[in-house]
């Protein structure tokens, strides 16, 4: 079996939890400090050894293609003004080939992955969701790739979530656990509150074998009336072992409002240029919060 060199980043969703801003702006382009969300994800893929990325886009997502396009005028200006640090920043994504395919209708995450099948062909591949950032020492995807290489079976990134949040995620039911790795029995997409088989939630990083496309092609609509990737993985699990791995690091869901605000604050606090003034501001804000008359 081949090594993992190709990745799909689905970014064609409607982003309804973030309306009205997502009417004309892709949620994957929401800035976290000074970088769009999707650029953090592309960088994680590059740092994990991915060579080719296909971004699944849709209506109103042109800004993503424009962002990763070359910008000769801007580059020339930065060179002329000797702003080499900024030049570095805008060129990092050029280390990987980025391709695009359109999902004509937002029929669900499973359908978005299916749209990229010809690009993937017959090899195992990675999926990184376009609105999930993982902040960790070793890149999240690279942790999954290391585990994948041990037994070359599909493996899904998971993270512990409290019981009151399990209904928002795909949840695993597992047969065995060894360290951070689980042998999965079942996958359940968004279980009703109180029915989740565990607290381990799928968090937007996957390594999948190409057999997943056999199931995605005939997958019926599932939770929320969408073609769900989790349902196809559940089918795949009937013919091949599928593992889950608890990724070490902080995971941020930029696709919902509170998650976006938390991501912005926490990632700003990791930056040398912002840590001190932001910490000072947060202390002042918290010590005055009772006195504020915000309605």
From the CB of 226, what's the least distance to ligand UTP, in Å? 6
Nearer to ligand UTP by C-beta: 90 or 107? 107
Binding site for ligand UTP (CB under 6 A): 10-18, 28, 56, 103, 106-109, 111-112, 129-131, 255
Question: Among candidates 189, 195, 171, which has minimal Cα distance to 244?
Answer: 171
Distance CA 86, CA 70 (A): 14
Nearer to ligand UTP by C-beta: 153 or 263? 263
From the CB of 291, what's the least distance to ligand UTP, in Å? 35
From the CB of 4, what's the least distance to ligand UTP, in Å? 20
Nearer to ligand UTP by C-beta: 7 or 12? 12
DSSP assignment letter at 208: E
Nearer to ligand UTP by C-beta: 33 or 107? 107
> Bridge-partner residues for 159, per DSSP?
201
Distance CA 166, CA 17 (A): 18
From the CB of 12, what's the least distance to ligand UTP, in Å? 3
By beta-carbon distance, which residue lies closest to ligand UTP?
13
Nearer to ligand UTP by C-beta: 38 or 144? 38
CA separation, residue 8 to residues 33, 66, 101, 109, 124 (Å): 25, 18, 10, 11, 11
From the CB of 260, what's the least distance to ligand UTP, in Å? 11
E strands, 104-212, are: 125-128, 132-135, 154-160, 170-178, 181-189, 200-208
Distance CA 167, CA 189 (A): 8
Nearer to ligand UTP by C-beta: 96 or 223? 223
Distance CA 113, CA 294 (A): 43
From the CB of 142, what's the least distance to ligand UTP, in Å? 20
């Amino acid at each position: 079996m081949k090594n993992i060199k190709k990745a799909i980043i689905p970014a064609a969703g409607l982003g309804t939890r973030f309306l009205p801003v997502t009417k004309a702006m892709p949620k994957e382009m929401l800035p976290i400090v000074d970088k769009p969300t999707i650029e953090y994800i592309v960088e994680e893929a590059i740092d994990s050894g991915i060579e080719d990325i296909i971004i699944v886009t849709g209506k109103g997502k042109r800004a993503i293609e424009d962002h990763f396009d070359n910008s000769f005028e801007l580059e020339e200006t930065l060179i002329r003004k000797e702003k080499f640090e900024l030049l570095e920043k805008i060129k990092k994504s050029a280390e990987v080939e980025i391709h695009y395919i359109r999902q004509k209708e937002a029929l669900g995450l499973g359908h978005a992955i299916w749209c990229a099948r010809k690009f993937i062909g017959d090899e195992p591949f990675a999926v990184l969701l376009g609105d999930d950032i993982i902040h960790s020492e070793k890149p999240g995807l690279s942790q999954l790739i290391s585990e994948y290489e041990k037994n070359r079976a599909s493996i899904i990134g998971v993270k512990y979530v409290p019981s009151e949040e399990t209904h928002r995620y795909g949840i695993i039911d597992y047969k065995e656990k060894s360290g951070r790795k689980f042998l999965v029995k079942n996958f359940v997409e968004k279980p009703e509150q109180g029915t989740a088989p565990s607290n381990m939630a799928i968090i937007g990083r996957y390594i999948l074998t190409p057999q997943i496309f056999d199931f995605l092609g005939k997958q019926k609509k599932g939770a929320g009336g969408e073609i769900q990737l989790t349902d196809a993985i559940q089918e795949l699990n009937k013919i091949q072992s599928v593992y889950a791995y608890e990724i070490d690091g902080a995971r941020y869901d930029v696709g919902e409002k509170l998650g976006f605000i938390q991501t912005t604050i926490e990632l700003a606090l990791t930056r040398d240029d912002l840590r001190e003034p932001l910490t000072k501001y947060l202390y002042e804000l918290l010590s005055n919060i009772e006195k504020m008359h915000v309605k």
